[in-house]
Structure 1
Amino acid sequence: MTDKNFDVEVHHVTRVEGHGNIYVNVRDGTITRCEWNISEAPRFFEAMVVGRSWRELHHITSRICGICSIGHTLASLSATEAAMGITISEQDLKLRKIALHAENLQSHLLHVGFLVLPDLMGVGSVIPLASSNPKEVKTVLRLHRLANEMSNLLCGRTTHPQRLLPGGFSKIPTMKELSALRAKLKASVPDLQAVAKLLQSLAPKIPGFVRETEFIALTKPDEYALYDGKIGSTDTDAAPASEYLSYTNEYIVPQSTAKRAKHFRDSYMVGALARLNINYDLLSPLAKKTAEMFGLKPVCHNPFMNSVAQLVEVVHSVEDSIKLINELEAAGLKSQPDYNNPDVTVKAGRGVGAVEVPRGILFHDYAYNEKGICTKANCVIPTNQNHGNIELDMKALVPKIMGKTPKEIELTLEMLVRAYDPCISCSTHAVKVHFV
């Protein structure tokens, strides 16, 4: 049992990308301090792209994140294409969606299999599981290898795409290569089911914490939106992506180098759980069955279930990739023009790109002058949209777990942060903060 006075200080939370700290002080049973603290150095990408050509921005901004580089590339390309009036073909759109599915698979499998499962299985990392549960670890590795193969095929390599360019692709896969990928995706279904059954067996260990909040994600009437669409919310009507600033409303806090965001309430959540809450009816059939295994249906307000939602999306990404390859085959794969020299009339303009990356909705916003040189850029990262929600969840969770030991409280708070799958380095901006 914890007495009425205790402190929790975690420097830094493990099994997340980047450096984040947890500070909790309780005196006489009352919380006097509860903070989610980000101490990463700013990275200046928005300033870095100013003065660069429209042809270059997607290559630069993909380096914002090694895990979500495909998503950053596609958001960047969408913004540039909107500014320049470039329209991509239906074929290229489908290929881009498959590339985005590859990234979802890479990231979600890594998070669920190697960062979350250790908590549920009572160990400090995935390393002990390699000895105690080699079959399960190999299953996750096999699926992750397939995701890397998808990325290599569509993007030219596993991270920081080379083949994605304004207007389309510099090179596309052959139908023979896509057919081979389709066969591997179909063969992966038993592995997906094995991972789902493993997580289902551990589901009783997922905390049952609930705090009502707003969820925001892209939405479309006819598909589970990942690439393009309107901004959807569980609290308000949908709006065009160009109106993203009225949703994100970024602000700064003294304890963080990362901005925060709020919309209808004091915070909101983005990510797999937000997407599922808004687009559940458009999940693929097997993905919906996977959600039903866990009793996961909208609107779920338990942030710990975000990891389950990620697993559901893994299944959806496999099924939807198969569907997209079928559609490409039916239409007949067409050869590509030379997109290294697209026929574009360079002009001044502004464009906004919005895509769903593994951790949530991502916005890139660029302004160009008449020579196609970037004059202003703004990137709103999913994790910085989640920071405020994480801290408010912590403040609501601590009173519910005060009866636990300090170590148990610490672990539960770390599990909460990990459930959001934060990419902390991506979320830091050029804000000067003095820590007292």
Structure 2
Amino acid sequence: MTGNSNNTDSRDIKVDIHYLTRVEGHGNIVVDVKEGKLTRCEFQVIESPRFFESMLVDRCIWEAQHLTSRICGICACAHSLASIKAAEDALGIKPSEEVISLRKLLLHTEMMDSHILHVYFLVVPDLLGVKSVMQLIKTHKPLVEMALRMKRMSDYAGEVLAGRHIHPISYVIGGLTQMPSKKGLEKLYKLMLEARRDGDETVKIIKALKFPEFNRPTQYMSLTSEEEYAFYDGDLIINGGRRTKIRDYKKLLTEKVLDYSTAKISTIDNKPYTVGAISRFNNNYDKLNKKAKEVAKELGLKPPCHNPYLNTAIQLVEWVHCLEESIKMMEKILKNGLKEEKIVVASWPKRSQINTLKFMPDTGTGCVEAPRGSLFHQYSIDDTAHITAADCVIPTNQNIGNLEEDMRKIVPELLGTHTQEQITLDLEMLARAYDPCISCATHVLDVKFVNA
């Protein structure tokens, strides 16, 4: 696909980026410009597939959530919950309202954990003109200390609610294997109240920073619900209108393989789309709580937002929403207590029991909003509750096609007005704006311009 610039820049430029490091592997960005015209624009995922779906086949379905939580160290809870929901759908198991409430609380805290990591450690260094968060320690030490404090709060939430803050162990099909401790819940509630002050300060910081200006309307897909700002359940919605049931996601999404990438590319009606905070914001703005709407207004955000760079600012809006909703959930829990008989279940039947039980062969589908967007798990089981087929559709892969389309539009726009260094930074920031699944790197792209 080619693109034309509206300026008179006739440079020949080759952008060859190695590597965009992600949790699931490595990626390249290749851009060729010939005589001012964009002739090549690719996001290449070059890492070998990890075969989690193949690993699930022939496994007992009660083991699935412990395997799939390893797909990502940042979104481990989202993967675990999507997996559990798919298994429960296949088995015909309905958890109690108390269990669902705890799952929503866990998902809210993971959302906060991931969002604050992305805002401060991956994006803010660029906006402040430094190369990494390590330099921020020297120039903005109080800011880094605040970011760590905010992240410790959500890390601790994972320990209290799920047994540990990475790869949850207590959330299983039907419920939990152990109750969160009262002492831990009380400490977590206190940390959440204290986090309000840091959240307010973060809003001031982000408001003072300048994001690149760029707009490209696209298809925005997310969960939606009449009851709440949807993270855990609901229907799929596109641009506030078209709706699809979760179990029909394969009728909506089309995955294809490109010759330059080992990752599948997802499209809707043969067109790219995006998932994540910006999509949830555009589709579900009315369901944000009062405090989150006030923050959106202060940051100058309103739906529909078509600037992908502002995904980061919208993540902060979601952080505020999740904090306030979590505080309300915690107050209800601490006031009314948790009833163990409605929450705790055995982790899974003993193998000897499974071999004697008969199940109805079926296919179950689960979807939750991971920090980076709509996450799907689907399993088919036989009459012994062993998995015969598995499908996992990851948010990052759904965003790749849309990232490429953004690059195809923005590169010609930058040619006439930006230096090579500025183009490099804008492309890096565009990739980061999608919050690619990176757990430990800040400066994710090494861009080299080579004259063609």
Q: What TM-score does the superposition give when structure 2 sets the normalisation length?
A: 0.90
Aligned to 2:437: 423
SS of residue matched to 1:12: strand
Describe the SS at the equivalent of 1:150.
helix
Q: Which amino acid aligns with 2:289?
A: S
Match of 1:269 among 256, 268, 274: 274
Q: Which residue of 2 aligns with 1:408?
A: 422
Matched, 1:250 2:263: no
Output one character per residue of 1:251-302: Cα deviation in whole Å (capped at 9) or x when no partner. Answer: 1111111101111461000001111111111112211111111211111011
Q: 1:346 Cα deviation (Å)?
A: 3.6
8 A Cα contact 1:38 1:255, kept in partner:
yes
Q: Secondary structure at the match of 1:244?
A: helix
1:114 match: secondary structure: helix
Contact 1:91/1:328 (CA < 8 Å) preserved in 2? no
Q: How far off its partner does 1:423 sit?
A: 2.2
Deviates more, 1:398-407 or 1:231-240: 231-240
Per the TM alignment, residue 331 of structure 1 is displaced from its structure 2 partner at its CA by 4.4
Q: Is residue 33 of structure 2 the alignment partner of residue 20 of structure 1?
A: no
Partner of 2:304: 299
Tell whether the 8 Å contact from 2:106 to 2:161 is kept in structure 1 after alignment: yes
How many residues are aligned here? 423
Pair 1:86-2:93 in alignment: yes
Shift of 1:328: 2.9
1:229-244 maps to which residues of 2 (within 5 A)? 229-234=234-239, 236-244=241-249
1:367 aligns with 2:374: no
* Residue 184 in structure 1 maps to residue 188 in structure 2: no
Amino acid of the residue matched to residue 268 of structure 1? Y
Helix, strand or coil at the partner of 2:130 = coil
Distance 1:171 1:139 in 2: 32
State the match for 1:124 in structure 2.
131
Aligned residue for 1:232, secondary structure, equals strand
Q: How many angstroms does 1:424 deviate by?
A: 7.6
Q: Which amino acid aligns with 2:338?
A: L
1:359/1:366 CA distance change after superposition, 3 Å = same
2:40 is matched with 33
In structure 2, how many angstroms separate the alpha carbons of the residues matched to 1:36 and 1:213? Answer: 18
Aligned partner of residue 250 in structure 1, secondary structure: strand
CA apart distance, 1:2: 6.6
Change (3 A) 1:395 1:284: same
Query: For the Cα contact (< 8 Å) 1:102–1:147, is it kept in 2?
Result: yes
* Residue 194 (structure 1) shift: 0.9
1:73 to 57, 70, 80: 80
Aligned positions of 1:1-400 closer than 5 A: 4-13=11-20, 18-202=25-209, 204=210, 206-234=211-239, 236-264=241-269, 266-336=271-341, 337-341=344-348, 346-400=359-413
Q: Contact 1:216 / 1:274 at 8 angstroms: preserved in 2?
A: yes
Separation of aligned partners in 2, 1:2 and 1:118 = 30
Q: Does the 8 Å contact 2:161/2:180 carry over to 1?
A: yes
Question: Residues 32 and 38 of structure 2 are in contact (CA less than 8 Å); yes or no, is this contact kept in structure 1?
Answer: yes
Is the 8 Å Cα contact of residues 254 and 270 (structure 2) preserved in structure 1?
Answer: no
Deviations along 1:160-187, whole A, 9 cap, x unmatched?
1110111010012134432332222111
Q: Residues 380 and 16 of structure 1: is their aligned pair in 2 closer, same or farther, counting only changes over 3 Å?
A: closer
Deviation digits for residues 320-349 of structure 1, max 9, x if unmatched?
111112333454410144423579974321
- Deviation by residue 1:386-430 (Cα, 9 ceiling, x = unmatched): 0000000000001110021122112111110100011289xxxxx
Structure 1 or 2: more strand by fraction: 2
Q: Matched residues in 2 for 1:282 and 1:212: separation?
A: 22
Q: Residue type matched to 2:363 in 1?
A: R
- What are structure 1's unaligned runs of at least 5 residues? 426-436
What percent identity do the matched residue pairs reach? 44
Q: Secondary structure at the residue paired with 2:267?
A: coil
Go from structure 1 to structure 2 and tell me whether the alpha carbon gap of 1:108 and 1:353 turns closer, same or farther (over 3 Å shift).
same
The separation in 1 between residues aligned to 2:179 and 2:295, in whole angstroms, is 32
CA distance in 1, matches of 2:438, 2:141: 30
Aligned-partner Cα distance in 2 for 1:155–1:13: 31
C-alpha separation in 1, matches of 2:217 and 2:126: 24
Contact 1:78 1:353 in 2 (8 A): yes
Distance 1:281 1:19, change over 3 A: same
Gaps of 5+ in 2: 1-7, 440-452
Task: Letter of the 2:274 partner, please give it.
Answer: M
Contact 2:277 2:311 (C-alpha < 8 Å) held by counterparts: yes
Q: 1:122 to 1:3 in 2, by over 3 A?
A: farther
Q: State the distance in 2 between where 1:27 and 1:54 align.
A: 53
- Asked if the contact 1:367/1:375 (under 8 Å) is kept, the reply is yes
Distance 1:318 1:302, change over 3 A: same
Could you tell me whether the CA contact under 8 Å between 1:19 and 1:424 is conserved in 2? no
- Separation (CA, whole Å) in 2 of partners of 1:144 and 1:2: 45
Aligned-residue RMSD, C-alpha? 1.9
Alpha-carbon distance, 1:14 to partner? 6.2
Q: What SS does structure 1 have at the residue aligned with 2:61?
A: coil
Whichever residue aligns with residue 37 of structure 1, its letter is: Q
Q: Counterpart of 2:294 in 1: which secondary structure?
A: helix
